[in-house]
Chain A
């Protein structure tokens, strides 16, 4: 039987990149169809295909790594680079929205009354729910670190508990933010204040949901004995992503909620 004379992973042919590309096409053209012809069918089809693609592609990666042993040290190194580069690209994504916020708030136009917050806007009190949200995310950063150490030390029960607690904190943040969105005295349509506020915090909230989902997958995998004390990169990637989400929140809190009020 032939075997490879190198430590790298030559991935078997897979249909998921194609289905993912098709999903992207259906979602984007579906968006245009929705705008012009009021039908959400195409976009919904694209969304379902995207979810199926993600589920099956990542399931295959878990099979290749955890069960088939393809994730040798150099392969894992590549995965680490990949995650770092991806998070870096997300940093730049958020930088754009911070640029928009500072451009608008450092030099508020006459239409806003030449002041920030603009005339007529009552910003949220930064020392109420937003401060609680900050504490929640900071605490979740502690619990995810606790989970990591538990995994490295072979403490199965503690790993499960701390990871579950991290996810609960993430859900608590999401619930609090949802309530804040509902109760806010201003909307996304309220000038550039509303736009910058809801687009920046909205994309952050989406990333919290993504991060919580990633951590939940890790919890299921931890329960099913996928991780070893030496090798648990999926968890590390989720933890990096979670810390990134926390740091973005800190910048949002200081810039938009606190300075911007």
Chain B
């Protein structure tokens, strides 16, 4: 997931590849418990990618997964979002696919550079699956 350490990398980096660098084995749990095994960022991401990659995921599970994910204090990694978008494709749910993009923008809060970055990462997938962005549809303004 994209946390504030990544943000600092984004802000200071100017080239389009390798916008950030951070030690990849930082152990930060998705939930803050006082004890118990902490999940690494990679484990968190992998778990969620696996969730959305389930071939026979059903519509309820897709919506539940998205709601749970968006409830966390983080912006999901593009690879998780890609898996979710592909799940939308399998379920013929274009509305939810576009809603996912809206949710990313909302979760970014004041960090306005996250959303364009995520769209950039997802561009090949969006083109492949034929998913328009809210901006392209003109529905990003109220």
List the interface of chain A (C-beta within 8 A of B).
103, 106-110, 113-116
Give 14 new A-B contacts, CB below 8 A, not counting A107-B63, A115-B67. Answer: A106-B64, A107-B61, A107-B62, A107-B64, A108-B63, A108-B67, A109-B63, A110-B93, A110-B96, A110-B99, A113-B99, A114-B66, A114-B99, A114-B103
* Chain A residues, Cβ within 8 Å of B67: 106-108, 114-116
Contact B63 A114 (CB under 8 A): yes
* Chain B residues, Cβ within 8 Å of A108: 63, 67
Q: Is the interface of A mostly helix, strand, loop or mixed?
A: loop
Q: Which of B60, B95, B99 contacts A107 (CB 8 A)?
A: B60
Q: Is the interface of B mostly helix, strand, loop or mixed?
A: helix
* Chain B residues, Cβ within 8 Å of A107: 59-64, 67
* Chain A residues, Cβ within 8 Å of B66: 114
Which range holds the interface residue count of chain B?
Answer: 10 to 19
Contact A110 B64 (CB under 8 A): no
* Chain B residues, Cβ within 8 Å of A103: 60
List the interface of chain B (C-beta within 8 A of A).
59-64, 66-67, 93, 95-96, 99, 103
Quick one: closest B residue to A109, CB to CB?
A: B63
Known: A115-B67, A116-B67. A110 touches B95 (CB 8 A): yes
Query: A113 vs B67: C-alpha distance in the bound complex, in angstroms?
Result: 11
* Chain A residues, Cβ within 8 Å of B103: 114
